[in-house]
A and B are shown apart, each in its own frame.
Chain A
Amino acid sequence: MTTLHLRVGFMPLVDCALVVLAKDEGFAEAEGLDLELVREVSWSNLRDKLNVRLFDAAHMLGPAAIAATLGIGGVKAPMAAPLALNRDGAAITLSLRRFEELSRLAEGDMADTAVSARALAAMVERRKASGLPLLTFAVVFGFSTHIYLLGEWLGKAGLRLGEDIRFEVVPPPQTVEALASGRIDGFCAGAPWNSAAVAAGVGAMVHASVDLRRNCHDKVLAWRADDVERRPAAVSKLGTAILKAGAWACRPENVARMAQHLSASDRLALPAPLIERILDGELIQGADRPSRAILPFIRFDREALRPDPDDADWVLSGMQSAGQVVVTPQIREIARNVFATACFEGISAAIDKAPKI
């Protein structure tokens, strides 16, 4: 079997795990792939390098793949996501000071997202009355699960992101510093950045994404749309390696090893124990609260990796309420097609048919 070289870009987040495991646990090699992983500093770079073929595939925010495919915001780079890389795993964190204020203003159980949202609305109202600047929330990219989740949370109390609350994009590794310096009051991001802010003693986790939405769409493996047509063998080999990595990642006995791989200096470059707690579903919350068990906090099982055209509908409605797009039937069809399932079904069936060793 000849070896096929593939270069895949990723962002340092826990949800890049399956791409990392495909290489580090030998699943890619077993498929005859020589996988080269490249850590990137921005989602824009991943999109642009995929577009000019410096990357064969990329770890990508599902909404960013749709935005690029539709050409929203100038860059048109049609993509296809033959499989997802995870579901769930995001959370909302506030600075300690804002979290304490929020807790004081809350009327009821803060675990209820409607209660916390109303407390936030009260805080926004008070600041307005006393002439204080708007609160600033951050997400890591303009087209992301995180911005639409924040929008849903705020919407529960009639607040609008970008109007009642200032909005900024802050790269993940800078979220801790931005929270500590008071440049932002809170953020919504994927693991491990919420835990990192809590561990640094500057933030308190308010909600996990599962509080707002179960089975939440997140990252995908993106290819150029034309490559999915033109290079089916490459797509299916990498897909097989990733699905197998997913099955491996779901076994509890592998968690410590997985955290070790992710913590490497050319991957996340963060302490393995911090990552391991997240994979164990033991979320540190900060503000003198015990850790919270959410198992699994971030999903890598086979069902989680199945792309779902209905996710595109959710993304589009988030985009529409953020004022990023006006949805037409044609746009809906293009977006749903980014998450077409045929490729996944083929790969998945082939794995199940293969003789078990």
Chain B
Amino acid sequence: MVPNLRILIVDANQVRAAIIEEGLREAGYQQLVRLSATTGLVAAIETHDPDVVVIDLEDPSRDALADMFLVSRHVRRPITMFVDQSDSASIEAAVEAGVSAYIVDGLKKERMQPILQTCISRFNAFRKLREELDEARSQLEDRKTIDRAKAIVMRLKDLSEDEAYALMRRTAMNEKRKLVDIARSLITAAEMLK
């Protein structure tokens, strides 16, 4: 039985926030609030009165959360960073993933651990997704560059598409350079000689 906890997700990145929300919802948590505007985080906490706050490490408001209760008597319930001192691997995993969790009113760590684990894996999944997207994007760019260069070679040397491609590959191997680099030099040269 998943405890009925109210979780506040603080992340300026809307896509990642949605991914985390989905992850927590799948894990059975129902009361989720997403917050992207991070000025006035303290006021947002007063309004939503969460049990758990999950925050992106890149958010400067993190310092406003830290040990709020220790320094402000106007906060009704104490908020502290969730750290399981007996489990240093999970501290490292969270920092490396770029997420931090805060618990309100001394929530038990057994109830907190699955929430943190879900967030860590969703943060990592998001990063992987973004890396893959970047890679796909740059592959697409490379492909376009190679196609343009191939067209130049075909025109200048009166070769077929396959022959032009083979020539470029051979040159790249011969010069120990990447095909896309050869293609870039060809395009630059062609533009200079225009």
- Give CA–CA (A41, B57) in the complex, Å: 8
Out of B66, B92, B96, name the residue touching A44 (CB < 8 Å): B66
CA distance A221 to B108 in the complex (A): 35
A169 near B74 with CB under 8 A, answer: no
Chain A residues with CB under 8 A of B66: 43-44, 73, 141-142, 169
Q: Which segment of B77-85, B114-122, B123-131 sits at the interface?
A: B77-85
Is B81 a contact of A74 with CB atoms below 8 Å?
Answer: yes
Bound complex: CA A171 to CA B67 (Å): 15
- Find out whether the CB atom of A169 lies under 8 angstroms from the CB atom of B95: no
Q: Is the CB of B39 within 8 A of A44?
A: no
Q: How large is the interface on A (under 10, 10 to 19, 20 to 34, 35 or more residues)?
A: 35 or more
Q: Are B67 and A162 in contact (CB under 8 A)?
A: no
Taking a contact as CB atoms under 8 Å apart, the answer to whether A45 and B83 are in contact is no
Dominant SS at the A interface?
Answer: loop
Chain B interface category by residue count: 20 to 34
Closest residue of A by beta carbon distance from B103: A74
Q: Interface residues, chain A, CB within 8 Å of chain B? A: 41-45, 48-49, 51-52, 54, 67, 72-76, 140-143, 147, 162-163, 166-171, 173-174, 177-178, 183, 322-324
Q: Confirm or deny: B136 has a beta carbon within 8 angstroms of a beta carbon on chain A.
A: no
Q: Does B40 belong to the interface (CB within 8 Å)?
A: yes
Q: A-contacting residues of B (Cβ < 8 Å)?
A: 39-40, 42, 57-68, 70-74, 80-83, 85, 91-92, 95-96, 100
Contact with A142, one of B40, B57, B59, B71 (Cβ below 8 angstroms):
B71
A143 to B67, alpha carbons, bound, how many Å?
9
Point out the residue from B39, B60, B82, B85 that lies within 8 Å of A42, measured CB to CB.
B60
Q: Residue B100 contacts which of A48, A76, A163 (CB distance < 8 angstroms)?
A: A48
A45 touches B62 (CB 8 A): yes
CA distance A174 to B72 in the complex (A): 19
Q: Is the CB of B72 within 8 A of A168?
A: yes
Do the beta carbons of A75 and B81 come within 8 Å of each other? yes
Measured CB to CB, the closest approach of chain A to B104, in angstroms, equals 12
CA separation between A10 and B100, bound complex, in Å? 19
Q: Contacts A49-B95, A162-B72, A324-B71 known; A74 to B63 CB distance under 8 Å?
A: no
Of A49, A74, A168, the residue contacting B82 (CB under 8 A) is A74
Q: Which residues of A contact B85 (CB under 8 A)?
A: 76
Q: For residue B61, which residue of chain A has the nearest CB?
A: A171
Residues in A with CB closer than 8 Å to B60 are 41-42, 171, 173-174
B73–A162 touching, CB < 8 Å: yes
Residue numbers in B under 8 Å from A44 (CB-CB): 62-63, 65-66, 81, 100
Q: How far is the CA of A73 from the CA of B63 in the complex (A)?
A: 13
CB contact under 8 A between A169 and B63, given known A44-B81, A142-B71: yes
Could you tell me the distance between the alpha carbons of A323 and B83 in the complex, rounded to whole angstroms?
Answer: 22
Q: Could you tell me if B96 and A72 are in contact, using CB atoms closer than 8 angstroms? A: no
8 Å CB contact of B42 from A51, A74, A168: A168
Residues from chain B with Cβ under 8 Å of A163 in the complex: 73
* Residues B95 and A162 in contact, CB atoms below 8 Å apart: no
Contacts of A76 in B (CB 8 A): 83, 85
Q: Which residues of B contact A174 (CB under 8 A)?
A: 39, 60
For residue B67, which residues in chain A have a CB less than 8 angstroms away from its CB?
67, 72-74, 142-143, 324
Cα of A100 to Cα of B59 in the assembled complex, Å: 34
